[in-house]
Amino acid sequence: MLAWAALARDWWWGLLLTIPAAAFLVRLFMIQHDCGHGAFFRRRATNDWVGRVAGVLTLTPYDCWRRLHASHHAGSGNLERDAFGGIETLAVADYLALSWPRRLRYRLFRHPLVQLGLGPAYLFLLQQRVPFGLMRKGWRPWGSAMGTNLAFVGFAAAGAALFGAKAFLLAYFVTLMLAATAGVWLFYVQHQFERTFWARDADWDLHVAALHGSSYYDLPQPLRWFTADIGVHHVHHLNSRIPFYRLREVLRDRPELATCGRLGLIESVRSVRLALWDEETGRLIAFRDLRGRATSSPAA
């Protein structure tokens, strides 16, 4: 509200206030995330309705997102199953077996400017306006997506009436894009690091994937507060019913988990170039690491 009020009078102060507003929006999304796991409140109905209201502000249809995110947890680190709800990751052999147009598509998709630039805008402004991935799953996904859209139109109309359409839309969408980029980055780095875990279906194990395929993103304060300790991601994947405000207690009681998949800020930035799972070395590598390797045929 301060950003909207400031924008109605002074553009620069209003835009500066979108930065802390985006940080609070990230935290709100993390509360919605815990509600989707049934972890924030004891009662399922309370989790669901708080999640749906939060979804209007985060432009994320709660019921659709909850179902897709559950599929991510069920197949995280699986080269053959983690399609919806996760970031597409190919093994080296699968990438080399692609035709050049499909390789180009994958390289563009994995480019940092797409992942952290176009990607957040496409995801929150376009893809989530319809029940992508759930379009043939009955009326409930459509009700979730359309209900969120209609509720946001009402919210935007009220905001425009109070602060003016230009001030409201500028402050909200700048805030949303900053928060969306931060959220996509968190989701990316918590599974896309060098010593992560990926396996084919026959060799995949849920608990191994949770513990070794998810990072412990050790952030400093106040980033830990704004991200609701989602950086303790390996523990979250081991048991998604642990609310974010108790994840640190698990690290305190099980100190050996604090060294498992630990990433600092500098290390996490380096991981942005990694895009392919090398089954020979058991690590995520960059495209440039493929130099000198022979192109495989689909049969191979």
Out of 37-51, 130-144, 285-299, the most confident range is: 37-51
Specify the pLDDT at position 296: 46
Burial 84-122 (b: 16+ CB within 10 A, else e): bbbbebbbbbbbbbbeeeebeebeeebbeeebbeebbbe
- Asked if residue 102 has pLDDT above 90, the reply is yes
pLDDT single digits (tens) 81-92: 765 567 889 999
pTM score, whole prediction:
0.90
Domain chopping of the chain, boundaries: 2-290
pLDDT single digits (tens) 207-266: 999 999 999 999 999 999 999 999 999 999 999 999 999 999 999 999 999 989 899 998
